[in-house]
């Protein structure tokens, strides 16, 4: 067979099939690699972006409904992809769980390996210390210690500098010491990743056990911590009604402070204070406490936040027969900084026709030359109600939920407005108005304040906070602690003098390795009587320090410091035989 025919006779090697078990092992290795964990972490950060771009149902269901109404085409598709429930969506949870599994599979084997490394001895001393990145050599005077004693003293020096040491006996009566420090760097790295797992675990526990609810309280009204008392409620996946803390509270009063001194910010809100009467359980005494913005109230682990406030005008609506169809405060939705509030009043019990009203409440009304009334101040200086009235079917009997701030006038007949002869309804406190066609009347009885409360229970928040702080501390340790290895060997030169060689190696980056060389050299000079180098070979490896002072106790052996401490010897570019000279 000729040489040219040989390749044609060869057949491509066939790789063995992985099989089911092999495929699973391959997928597990890929999932638990650090590269995959970093990619999943980045993907999780990107996946969280829509949560800040689109309104979220847990934070404001009404805002989501308004967004979908204003953007019907896009809103429908966004809702299908769970863009309004990002943090509880299927795709976000999938990334979250994959990251959780990846971190566990990546960190725990690494922690076990590092635990074994902590129990193992420092690596053996390389044969050629001169080929390490940092190297030095000192020759001691005849009065200096023996090689073995010098190594023992060097071990003490290294131990004081925080190194873990092991002295080894070598051939011909020589000895060496291997030292290593910076293990806490890897510990910090492992603790950082374990802390991330802790954060994820507590976040998962919080999403299952926590709950969040919203409640609007008008002055004088009370609230008991039961499901039916909430205006909106978002439970965790493992929530149980029996876990609701049996507290109750009453809004005694609400005060708002506005700027009355500044010319540029006149009327701007400065402070809000809600005075609450709180009972921790049935039969418990009431405790009066204050609630402010950014200063939540803690009631047996449940945090109550002040997230909104406004005016609630009290009205009385009578139907055409004279019966009271509606009576009480109506929550106004503030539209601007002067509390111009949208008002919607629905009286489905009025006879013979249901009545509806829509308009604005103005805390400080001012009517311009065009006849349009506006509010010019957020305080109650000249309160006024401006309403349009309607009658007909309000659509409440269908059972479909309605927005309390929206009145569908398409199926209603208009009674009062600026476009009709009857005009609109304008009321001040204490006034009433008779509706056209004998449909009834409406009275403006007074004004109360209301507050919007966000009630949150999250038993896992402390765990998230603790692990987050621990992760930051561990990250700092892993970034700033440096891993170092040092070897020192004591030998006897042909003239009978003790020679001490030492080499340094950095694990990872080499920042500060030269400074460590200088520090060790100085410590050796202070410990032993060192000979001044007689030629270039003897001067090899010593760091040069112009400010170096002769060690105390060796005045009988003066040396030329510049000659004894020349520039550090740099190893050749060729790399050492790692199997002989440098341990893994």
Neighbours of 449 (CB within 10 A): 20
- Determine contact, residues 325/447, Cβ cutoff 8 Å: no
CA distances in angstroms from 455 to 216, 280, 402, 458, listed in the order given: 11, 15, 23, 10
Give the whole-angstrom CA distance, residue 150 versus residue 142: 13
Residue 450: inside a domain, yes or no? no
The pLDDT of residue 550: 39
pTM exceeds cut of 0.85: no
Same domain, 502 and 560: yes
Residue 387: inside a domain, yes or no? yes
Same domain, 127 and 104: no
Same domain, 404 and 492: no
Residue 469: inside a domain, yes or no? no
Same domain, 361 and 398: yes
Residue 116: inside a domain, yes or no? no
Same domain, 302 and 313: no
Same domain, 428 and 332: yes
Q: Is 392 left (phi over 0), alpha (psi -120 to 50) or beta?
A: left
Show the low-confidence residues of the chain (pLDDT under 50): 1, 536, 538-539, 544-584
Residue 457: inside a domain, yes or no? no
Same domain, 510 and 422: no
Give the whole-angstrom CA distance, residue 102 versus residue 124: 35
Same domain, 280 and 211: yes
Can you give the CATH number for the domain in which 524 is found? Answer: 3.30.310
The pLDDT of residue 534: 64
Residue 59: inside a domain, yes or no? yes
Last residue of a domain, one of 249, 279, 306: 306
Give the whole-angstrom CA distance, residue 102 versus residue 248: 44
Q: In three state form, how does the secondary structure of 542-578 look? A: CCCCCCCCCCCCCCCCCCCHHHHCCCCCCCCCCCCCC
- Residue from 581, 489, 582 nearest 127 by CA: 581
Same domain, 300 and 314: no
Give the whole-angstrom CA distance, residue 242 versus residue 248: 15
Same domain, 302 and 344: no
Residue 576: inside a domain, yes or no? no
Residue 352: inside a domain, yes or no? yes
- Determine contact, residues 527/156, Cβ cutoff 8 Å: no
Q: Which residues contact 459 (CB under 8 A, 6 or more apart)?
A: 205, 206, 209, 210, 301
The pLDDT of residue 395: 85
pLDDT in tens, 33-43: 888 988 998 99
Query: Structural domain of residue 172, as residue ranges?
Result: 121-182+482-564
Between CA 548 and CA 559, with CA 553 as vertex, the angle to 5 degrees is 50
Tokens of residue 280, six digits: 């921790």
CA atoms within 13 A on the CB side of 194: 14
Same domain, 165 and 220: no
In DSSP terms, 440 is beta-bridged to 319
Question: For the residues of 320-388, what is the DSSP string, one character each?
Answer: TTS-EEEEEE---EE-STT--EEEEEEETT-SSSEEEEEEEEESBEEE-TTS-EEE--SSSSB-EEEEE
pLDDT in tens, 394-410: 988 777 777 788 888 88
Between CA 509 and CA 515, with CA 512 as vertex, the angle to 5 degrees is 150
Neighbours of 232 (CB within 10 A): 16
The pLDDT of residue 13: 61
DSSP state of 320: T
pLDDT in tens, 285-339: 999 999 999 999 999 899 999 999 999 999 999 999 999 999 999 999 999 999 9
Last residue of a domain, one of 92, 111, 130: 111
Same domain, 95 and 218: no
Based on the number of CB atoms within 10 Å of its own CB, is 136 exposed (0-12), middle (13-18) or buried (19 or more)? buried
Domain count, the chain: 4
- Residue from 322, 315, 364, 372 nearest 344 by CA: 315
Last residue of a domain, one of 420, 445, 470: 445
């Amino acid at each position: 067979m000729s040489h040219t025919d040989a390749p044609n006779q060869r057949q491509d090697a066939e790789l063995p099939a992985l099989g089911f078990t092999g495929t699973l092992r391959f997928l597990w290795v890929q999932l638990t690699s650090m590269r995959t964990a970093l990619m999943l972490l980045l993907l999780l950060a990107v996946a969280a972006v829509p949560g800040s771009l689109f309104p979220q149902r847990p934070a404001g269901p009404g805002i989501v409904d308004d967004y979908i109404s204003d953007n019907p085409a896009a809103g429908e598709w966004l809702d299908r992809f769970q863009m309004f429930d990002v943090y509880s969506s299927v795709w976000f949870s999938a990334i979250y769980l994959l990251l959780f599994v990846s971190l566990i599979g990546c960190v725990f084997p690494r922690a076990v390996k590092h635990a074994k490394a902590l129990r193992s001895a420092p690596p053996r001393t390389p044969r050629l210390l001169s080929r390490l990145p940092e190297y030095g050599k000192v020759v001691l005077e005849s009065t200096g210690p023996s090689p073995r004693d010098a190594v023992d003293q060097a071990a003490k020096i290294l131990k004081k500098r925080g190194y873990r040491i092991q002295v080894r006996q070598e051939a011909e009566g020589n000895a060496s010491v291997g030292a290593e420090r910076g293990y806490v760097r890897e510990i910090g790295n492992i603790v950082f990743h374990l802390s991330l797992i802790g954060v994820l675990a507590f976040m998962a526990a919080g999403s299952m056990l926590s709950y969040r609810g919203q409640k609007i309280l008008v002055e004088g009204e009370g609230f008991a911590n039961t499901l039916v008392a909430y205006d909106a409620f978002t439970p965790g996946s493992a929530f149980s009604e029996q876990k609701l803390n049996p507290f109750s509270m009453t809004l005694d009063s609400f005060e708002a402070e506005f700027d009355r001194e500044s010319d540029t910010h006149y009327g701007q809100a400065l402070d809000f204070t809600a005075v609450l009467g709180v009972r921790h359980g049935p039969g418990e005494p009431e405790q009066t406490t204050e609630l402010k913005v950014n200063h939540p109230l803690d009631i047996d682990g449940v945090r109550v936040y002040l997230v909104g406030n406004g005016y609630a005008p009290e009205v009385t609506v009578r139907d055409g027969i004279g019966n009271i169809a509606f009576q009480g405060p109506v929550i106004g939705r503030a539209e601007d900084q002067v509390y111009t509030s949208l008002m919607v009043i629905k009286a489905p019990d009025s006879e013979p026709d249901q009545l509806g009203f829509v308009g604005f409440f103005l805390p400080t009304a001012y009517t311009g030359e065009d006849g349009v009334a506006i509010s010019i101040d957020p305080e109650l200086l000249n309160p006024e109600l401006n309403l349009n009235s309607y009658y007909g079917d309000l659509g409440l009997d269908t059972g479909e939920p309605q927005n309390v701030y929206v009145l569908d006038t398409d199926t209603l007949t208009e009674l009062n407005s600026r476009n009709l002869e009857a005009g609109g309804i304008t009321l001040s406190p204490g006034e009433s108005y008779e509706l056209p066609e004998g449909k009834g009347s409406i009275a403006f009885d007074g004004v109360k304040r209301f507050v919007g409360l966000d009630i949150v229970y999250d038993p896992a928040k402390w765990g998230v906070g603790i692990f987050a702080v621990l992760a930051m501390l561990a990250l700092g340790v892993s970034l700033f602690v440096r891993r170092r290895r040092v070897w020192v060997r004591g030998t006897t030169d042909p003239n009978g003098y003790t020679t001490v060689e030492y080499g340094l190696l950095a694990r990872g980056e080499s920042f500060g390795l030269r400074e460590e060389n200088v520090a060790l050299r100085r410590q050796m000079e202070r410990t032993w009587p060192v000979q001044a180098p007689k030629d270039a070979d003897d001067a090899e490896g010593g760091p040069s320090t112009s400010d170096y002072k002769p060690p105390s106790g060796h005045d009988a052996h003066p040396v030329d410091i510049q000659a004894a401490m020349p520039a550090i010897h740099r190893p050749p570019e060729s790399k050492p035989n790692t199997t002989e000279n440098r341990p893994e």
